[in-house]
């Protein structure tokens, strides 16, 4: 048997080369890999002895040769193929061990010339050739598979199932690799082609999905340095599917609001949000919004959790507390509970620009719903500066509340989040009915979409709400505006609708 070894990631390569050599496998290698193998004391043949041609163009051309691909691709059980390689003195290559140039690392460094030079050509070509002819050629692209390869060769256990599994991993790698390159050029040009390519790298298996009967895993998008990039779970149980799913909107909202924002969230919808001068005050106000729903929920803190805040948090059960950081004193308090997950997050990371939803055989992709601060005053009464701040705050929060959604806020604190109602007025009624004793006088109200009828304005007036933000767009907008004028309430139109289904 003959093996061609050409790898960028040289993890375990000396042991593999020695193991193959001990099993009587002849080794052909290239460049730095050849040097590494020779330094380990294992005999190898340099690639240009096979191709009868030196590496050229700074290494861009070294394995693109019929003496390489012919030796990989010919069918061992096809007489015409056997005759052809014999005629041209092409020797068989039975094992191909290849991994690819580090394009992602070059991308992170950002040097355009280096990025282009790290687009591998020969590597993917050999991988694809060997994977195509997997019936006759073993293709190994993952250092984790080296030990099994040696064991199977030793035991002559190289059945078709094993070969197909290696081919699957090979095409998995080249598809992922090409997807990252395609996205690079899409970002570079600002254009989209006919095909939308994403490549995700598995980070970990999860115990189960949304429910125990569903399998799940966590994947990383190497192209996006998002909020969860390098997140660190510093205490508590392993994160679950639902933990990740719920944590994401809590982080996004805390990031959008900015410094000292605290978001309490339950089942993907905020239940209490506040932004005050300190993390402690923000947490207290977020908790006060809905002290019942926050129990067993998630708290995201765009700031540092101190001891005083930790003591308040420790009074109830929370699934996750995610923050920029925790003081040592806060950790002493919070780690007393073994089940709470404490997570450190870098809120300075970028947020994603697209959202993906996989349907039953179709995929929906949309741009991210980013906020804006421009408003149009449409009523006789103008909102005060304080009301404008609360209106914009309510508008940012309502984007993260399931539609139909209403958020009532005052002094940069939510007083109620009405979520997931089939009728818009029901969303406001749920706030009124749930918090019967709450004083909503002078509060601001945000709606994720327009009012088809003035009834929501009427109920808001009854509750004492003084100002409203909504996107407008109804043929009956004027009815709601007139009702606000009648009640001497202010109303502003935002630029966008903010449905979240």
Catalytic residue among 18, 91, 132, 308: 132
Instruction: State how far the Cα of 44 lies from the Cα of 288, in Å rounded to an integer.
Output: 71
> How far are the Cα atoms of 26, 397, 433 from residue 472, in angstroms, in the given order?
74, 18, 26
CA distances from 146 to 12, 17, 140, 242, 290 (A): 8, 10, 8, 35, 55
Tokens linked to 128: 């694809």
Q: Answer yes or no: are the C-beta atoms of 299 and 322 closer than 8 Å.
A: yes
CB burial of residue 250 (10 Å; 0-12, 13-18, 19+):
buried
What is the token pair recorded at 415?
């007083």
The residue length of the chain stands at 501
CA 128, distance to chain mean position in Å, is 28
The rounded distance, in Å, linking the Cα atoms of 392 and 324 is 24
Residue 491 and residue 475: Cα distance in Å, rounded? 17
Q: Which residue has the tokens 């005053």?
A: 377
Q: By the 8 A CB rule, do 287 and 309 touch?
A: no
Q: Distance from first CA to last CA of the chain, Å, rounded?
A: 58
The DSSP bridge partners found for residue 263 are: 273, 300
Pairing type for strands 490-494 and 2-6 reads: unpaired
The answer to whether 267 is a known catalytic residue is yes
CA distance 263 to 271: 8
Task: Point out the catalytic residue in the list 18, 91, 196, 267.
Answer: 267
SS3 content of the chain, % helix, strand, coil (to 5): 40, 20, 40
Residue 253 class from Cβ within 10 Å (0-12 exposed, 13-18 middle, 19+ buried)? buried
- How far apart are alpha carbons 389 and 319 in whole angstroms? 31
Round to whole Å and give the CA distance between 249 and 320: 13
Give the list of residues 6+ apart from residue 432 with CB closer than 8 angstroms, or none. 416, 459, 463
- What are the distances in angstroms from CA 29 to CA 32, 49, 95, 391, 482? 9, 10, 12, 66, 80
Give catalytic status of residue 132 as yes or no. Answer: yes
Give CA–CA dist 414/191, Å, rounded. 40
* Residues identified as active-site: 132, 267
């Amino acid at each position: 048997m003959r093996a061609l070894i050409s790898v960028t990631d040289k993890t375990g390569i000396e042991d593999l080369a020695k193991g193959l050599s001990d099993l009587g496998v002849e080794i052909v290698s290239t460049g730095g890999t050849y040097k590494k193998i020779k330094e380990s004391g294992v005999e190898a043949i340099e690639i240009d002895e096979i191709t009868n041609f030196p590496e050229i163009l700074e290494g861009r051309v070294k394995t693109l040769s019929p003496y390489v691909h012919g030796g990989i691709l010919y069918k061992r059980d096809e007489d015409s193929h056997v005759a052809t390689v014999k005629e041209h003195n092409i020797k068989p290559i039975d094992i191909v061990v290849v991994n690819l140039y580090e394009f992602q690392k070059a991308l992170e460094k950002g040097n355009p010339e280096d990025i282009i030079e790290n687009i591998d050509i020969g590597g993917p070509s050999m991988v694809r050739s060997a994977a195509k002819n997997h019936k006759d050629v073993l293709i190994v692209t993952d250092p984790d598979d080296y030990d099994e390869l040696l064991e199977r060769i030793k035991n002559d256990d190289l059945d078709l199932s094993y070969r197909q599994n290696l081919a699957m991993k090979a095409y998995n790698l080249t598809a992922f690799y090409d997807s990252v390159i395609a996205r690079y050029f899409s970002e570079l040009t600002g254009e989209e082609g006919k095909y939308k390519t994403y490549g995700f790298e598995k980070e970990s298996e999860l115990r189960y999905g949304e429910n125990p009967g569903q399998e799940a895993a966590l994947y990383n998008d190497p192209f996006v340095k998002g909020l969860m990039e390098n997140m660190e779970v510093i205490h508590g149980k392993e994160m679950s599917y639902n933990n990740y799913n719920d944590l994401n909107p809590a982080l996004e909202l805390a990031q959008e609001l900015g410094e000292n924002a605290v978001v309490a969230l339950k089942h993907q919808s905020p239940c209490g949000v506040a932004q005050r001068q300190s993390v402690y005050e923000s947490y207290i106000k977020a908790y006060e919004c809905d002290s019942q729903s926050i129990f067993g929920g998630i708290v995201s803190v765009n700031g540092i959790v101190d001891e005083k805040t930790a003591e308040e948090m420790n009074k109830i059960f929370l699934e996750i507390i995610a923050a920029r950081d925790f003081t040592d004193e806060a950790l002493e308090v919070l780690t007393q509970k073994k089940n709470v997950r404490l997570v450190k997050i870098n809120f300075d990371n970028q947020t994603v620009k697209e959202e993906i939803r996989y349907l039953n055989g179709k995929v929906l992709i949309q741009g991210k719903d980013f906020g804006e601060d421009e408003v149009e005053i449409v009523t006789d009464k103008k909102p005060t500066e304080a009301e404008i701040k609360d209106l914009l705050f309510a508008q940012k929060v309502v984007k993260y509340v399931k539609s139909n959604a209403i958020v009532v806020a005052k002094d940069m604190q939510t007083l109620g989040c009405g979520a997931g109602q089939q009728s818009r007025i029901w969303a406001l009624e749920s706030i009124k009915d749930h918090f019967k004793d709450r004083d909503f006088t002078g509060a601001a109200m945000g709606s994720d979409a327009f009012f088809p009828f003035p009834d929501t304005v009427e109920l808001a007036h009854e509750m004492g709400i003084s100002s409203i933000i909504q996107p407008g767009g109804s043929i009956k907008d004027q009815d709601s505006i007139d009702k606000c004028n009648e009640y001497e309430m202010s109303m502003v139109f935002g630029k966008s609708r903010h449905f979240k289904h």
